[in-house]
Chain A
């Protein structure tokens, strides 16, 4: 059952992720954003399979809820309709595909060659309490630095987005 769910969710993630960037039927940005929601929800499903319930909930609430709503707001405010069909640079496309294939091929070969996952006993702990304990004891320093990082992000956003800031 778990394995079946894993394959369903991973297939959904991959397909929807592909449709976000390259949808053959429409080039409407709103459709892309909706597929991004689907990608994120199926990733939340993968997190649930790993017993990381808190992460799954955060994934849905923050990304699928808040971030995508912001995306949609921006798309609708800017009134972006159909993105023009770009003329792809052939050189760039060939090089990109080549890079993608080589990295992907290496990864697949490495995964097949390494004995990953053999005789491992799953050690599932991902409850909210465990996470909180870890975050405020062992990982308190990175957690605090994340606060500084968010401050930097906030300063940057205000600075770069406001038009006539005194």
Chain B
């Protein structure tokens, strides 16, 4: 009898986690290929082979997600899939593939390519699991899988002392935040007796707020805040963005945040739906909305103001990413299903633009320029096409119509404003977000000014290979095409989250 149950469960688990299993197998194959051909094949060719292999694995996983994925849950709600999960996982797979494509443009790949690709894929497995997790234990394990892979990837170029140092910093801050999450989860488990989010939701309905439970919730929010780099838990972001290998930085900036936001929304609305409190004008009542509102506020202010002062473009992008996390938190705050949907949509489209910008910075640094403002100067003369793409990407991040960044932000603010009863707090937050976007225009336009109005300090055209050019042009095209024709994709997104 017991064995029968076992067999059935394993089949079910395999069915629901097929994309994750494919990615794990791809990672193992990548390790094996690099083990077999290391030294016997030219380094660049081996690296490209591994990248194609990884993209193939991601493609297969996406195919399974698109065409052959049943909805449902397994092991009593430990892991689930539904339309929303599938959409977000597809987005993560696309962003991951773009990061690997960015890596393919690297003409002189650093050593240990097999391990590099395997870790990238395993980090993505962690993100996939995070999206499907409906259980505190699963959330923690998936968070750790993602984080551990990303720590190692950050310090991957260990010949650079600063890389090791930054990876260690990332690891220490991450370790502390993991301790907070674990303590928070254990308090939640202690107070409710359940680990599954839906069980917690049921156990909490109609109960008065327990202070110790609130403590556990706040502690878990600290860990999630670290994952999505919301102020004041953003200290690692500037260093990691600056030092990590470009594909890793773009993965951290895009896919990892998408997964973080999705699971945050799931955790708060799926587990603590009756516990949100309110931020209605000045009459706040205790609940996680107050904490999250505070995080959003701080992220928007600190992120944008700190970005104004940066001379290194990667650090600037890191701070602006903090600000973008603040905007996306508004989506999590809005109680309708369109809120988390627009937050996820916003983060995915933002990820597309930031990967494009990272691709351009990678091209510039390969042409022997450090990534400070001067690298951008005279980009228009040196390479008009790249400059045009750069303009589209940066304007999309700034939120200028008709680009996708505008649409994402618009959706976020609308979903926050449409909240029934129109709590004044949310309106104030949206007003703050509008002001913060205006401030952010200063540095975004400053980047464009450097690229278009300044004379070049260096002459000569910019060398870029086909992989890099195709990546930059594709991302720029996506920002404008999706911005003009968002219809079906956005509608499908909203629909998936509503069901």
Contacts and interface: CB of A to CB of B under 8 A. Distances in A.
Contact of A110 (B9, B17, B214): B214
Nearest to A114: B212
A98 interface: no
Interface string B432-451: 00000000000000000000
A139 interface: yes
B145 A152 contact: yes
B275 to A, nearest CB: 14
Interface stretch (A12-20, A44-52, A143-151): A143-151
Nearest to B144: A149
B388 interface: no
Interface string A101-140: 0000011011101111000000000000000000001111
A141 to B, nearest CB: 6
A90 interface: no
A165 B111 contact: yes
Interface of A is mostly: helix
Contact of B122 (A111, A137, A146, A152): A152
Given A110-B212, A137-B6, A142 B39 contact: no
B498 interface: no
Contacts of A141: 13, 17, 74-75, 78-79, 138
Interface residues of A, number: 28
Contact of B148 (A111, A137, A149): A149
Given A114-B213, A141-B75, A160-B158, A149 B141 contact: yes
Contacts of A153: 148
Interface in A78-117: 106-107, 109-111, 113-116
Contact of A152 (B6, B129, B149, B215): B149
Contacts of A152: 119, 122, 145, 148-149, 152
A75 interface: no
A110 B215 contact: yes
B229 interface: no
Nearest to A159: B115
A155 interface: yes
Given A114-B191, A142-B141, A160-B152, 15 more contacts: A109-B211, A116-B212, A137-B6, A139-B75, A140-B9, A140-B75, A141-B13, A141-B17, A141-B74, A142-B138, A149-B141, A151-B122, A152-B152, A165-B112, A166-B39
B36 to A, nearest CB: 13
A24 interface: no
A156 B190 CA distance: 34
Interface in B142-163: 142, 144-145, 148-149, 151-152, 155-156, 158
Interface residues of B, number: 45
B152 A145 contact: no
B210 interface: yes
Interface string B112-152: 10010011001001000100000001100110110011011
Interface in B1-49: 5-6, 9-10, 13, 17, 24, 31, 38-39
18 contacts: A110-B215, A113-B211, A116-B210, A139-B75, A139-B137, A141-B17, A142-B78, A145-B129, A145-B145, A148-B125, A149-B144, A152-B149, A152-B152, A155-B31, A155-B119, A156-B151, A159-B156, A166-B39
Q: Tell which of B79, B142, B149 has the most Cβ of chain A within 10 Å.
A: B149
B487 interface: no
A97 to B, nearest CB: 16
Contacts of A142: 78, 137-138, 141
Contact of A138 (B76, B148, B158, B190): B76
Contacts of A138: 75-76, 78
Contacts of A148: 24, 122, 125, 145
Nearest to B138: A142
A116 B148 contact: no
A109 to B, nearest CB: 7
Contacts of B190: 116
Given A139-B78, A152-B152, A116 B141 contact: no
Contacts of B212: 110-111, 113-114, 116
Contacts of A156: 119, 148-149, 151-152
A160 B155 contact: yes
Q: Tell which of B10, B115, B144, B212 has the most Cβ of chain A within 10 Å.
A: B212
A142 B78 CA distance: 9
Contacts of B156: 159
B225 to A, nearest CB: 15
Given A141-B75, A148-B145, A159 B152 contact: yes
Contacts of A107: 215
A106 B164 CA distance: 36
Q: Tell which of B152, B155, B191, B211 has the most Cβ of chain A within 10 Å.
A: B211
